[in-house]
């Protein structure tokens, strides 16, 4: 447990490979005092990413958002900070034979035992690309997707479970010499190292809102698992992977639709909440829909109009279009 009577304490851990490096040690020790003023801003949102160049070193620093009061106490007493978890998990990924930007150090600042600022410092990956345009279906590269599917299978068989296994957290590069693709995992603070089970199939659900892309990846993944790892997977497994993806992106669509409604002025937000309530009520009145075709058509018309008005733009995977033919009226 942290010492709550100390006004300000700093915990600094540097990886053994850099521990005796004077340039790195000096930079890490002075980082909390210079982060806001120096460095190249890469991203600023809930967390902040900055790039620093030190002689022969190219470094990325992630400063995590200050946690709320309860979490600051939890991180200060019972739970590892996001910075520490990023460091530990990246080391473990590398130890298991996979790639992650080389972890350099992490820093935690405490005030009266409560975590305030925390930083994760690692190697900057120059020349690496994001998987997003390929997983989103914007750019086409079947060879890359096939290699990525096999990489994912190997990653899972090694017991590496990234809780946010999504396009923005996977980097890739092509090396012509061994003629193969290399993949790197980033944003590693939310991970588990567990034996293979059905959770790994769900782990594929966040990869792509494109049904065609996710089907391609699922087929390549299943084929590789079946032939190389001798796992009892079939076409039903492909369907199950797509079902998990449908559920994930549909929940996301409902969440964004509701968030958009709540942003509206008072009368419109109330109307929107009422319409969304009617949508779910009509959608689940399955017995009533069996009474007659006119009743079914009337319910469908209500559901479809509400879907088009509030949900369609957020249903990026078009789950409800595929399952219930919603959105057809808007196309006529």
Cα separation of 327 and 151, whole Å?
37
Question: Comparing C-alpha atoms, which of 231, 253, 233, 246 is closest to residue 322?
Answer: 246
Task: Give residue 107's pLDDT.
Answer: 98
Task: Give residue 331's pLDDT.
Answer: 42
CA distances from residue 28 to 32, 37, 39, 176, 194 in whole angstroms, order as listed = 8, 15, 13, 35, 32
Strands, sheet with 129-130, edge to edge from the N-terminal-most edge strand:
129-130, 170-175, 180-185
Domain ranges (residues) in the chain: 9-123, 129-232, 259-331
Give the helix/strand (H/E) hosting 117.
Answer: strand 114-123
Q: What is the DSSP string of 12-72?
A: EEE-TTTTT-HHHHHHHHHHHHHTTTSSEEEEESSSEEEEEEETTEEEEEEEEPPP-HHHH
Task: Give residue 90's pLDDT.
Answer: 98
Q: Residues in the chain with pLDDT < 50? A: 1-2, 330-332
Task: Give residue 330's pLDDT.
Answer: 44
- Classify domain 129-232 at the CATH class level: mainly alpha
Task: Give residue 6's pLDDT.
Answer: 66
Which residues in 162-176 are b (16+ Cβ under 10 Å) and which e?
A: beebbbebbbbeeee
CA distances from residue 181 to 144, 150, 184 in whole angstroms, order as listed = 7, 11, 10
Task: Give residue 2's pLDDT.
Answer: 47
pLDDT, one tens digit per residue, over 247-284 is 999 999 999 999 999 999 999 999 999 999 999 999 88
Task: Give residue 128's pLDDT.
Answer: 92
The domain defined by 9-123 folds into: Phosphorylase Kinase; domain 1 (3.30.200)
> Are 173 and 185 spatial neighbours (Cβ–Cβ below 8 Å)?
no
Task: Give residue 5's pLDDT.
Answer: 55
SS3 label, residue 160: strand
- Interstrand relation of 57-64 and 180-185 (parallel, antiparallel or unpaired): unpaired
Task: Give residue 3's pLDDT.
Answer: 53
SS3 label, residue 326: coil
Cα separation of 166 and 131, whole Å?
9
């Amino acid at each position: 447990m942290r010492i709550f009577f100390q006004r300000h304490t700093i915990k600094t851990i540097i990886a053994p490979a850099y521990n005796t490096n004077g340039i790195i040690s000096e930079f890490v020790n002075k980082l909390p005092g210079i982060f806001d003023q120096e460095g190249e801003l890469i991203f600023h949102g809930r967390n902040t990413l900055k790039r620093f160049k030190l002689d022969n070193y190219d470094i990325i620093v992630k400063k995590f958002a200050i946690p709320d009061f309860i979490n600051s106490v939890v991180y200060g007493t019972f739970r590892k900070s996001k910075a520490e978890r990023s460091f530990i998990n990246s080391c473990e990924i590398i130890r298991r034979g996979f790639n992650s930007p080389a972890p350099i150090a992490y820093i935690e600042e405490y005030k009266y035992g409560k975590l305030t600022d925390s930083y994760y410092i690692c190697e900057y990956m120059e020349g690496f690309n994001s998987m997003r345009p390929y997983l989103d279906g914007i750019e086409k590269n079947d060879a890359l997707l096939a290699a990525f599917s096999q990489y994912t299978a190997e990653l899972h068989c090694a017991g590496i479970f990234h809780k946010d296994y999504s396009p923005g957290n996977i980097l890739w590069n092509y090396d012509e010499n061994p003629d193969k693709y290399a993949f790197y995992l980033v944003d590693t603070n939310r991970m588990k190292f567990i034996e293979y089970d059905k959770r790994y199939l769900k782990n594929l659900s966040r990869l792509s809102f494109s049904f065609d892309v996710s089907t391609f990846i699922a087929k390549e993944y299943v084929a590789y698992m079946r032939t190389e790892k001798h796992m009892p997977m079939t076409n039903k497994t492909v369907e199950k992977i797509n079902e998990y993806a449908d559920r994930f992106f549909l929940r996301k669509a409902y969440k964004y639709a509701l968030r958009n409604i709540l942003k509206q002025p008072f009368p419109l937000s109330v109307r929107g909440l009422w319409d969304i309530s009617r949508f779910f009520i009509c959608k689940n009145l399955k017995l009533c829909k069996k009474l007659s075709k006119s009743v079914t058509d009337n319910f469908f018309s209500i559901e479809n109009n509400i879907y088009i008005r509030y949900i369609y733009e957020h249903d990026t995977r078009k789950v409800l279009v595929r399952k219930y033919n919603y959105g057809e009226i808007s196309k006529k």
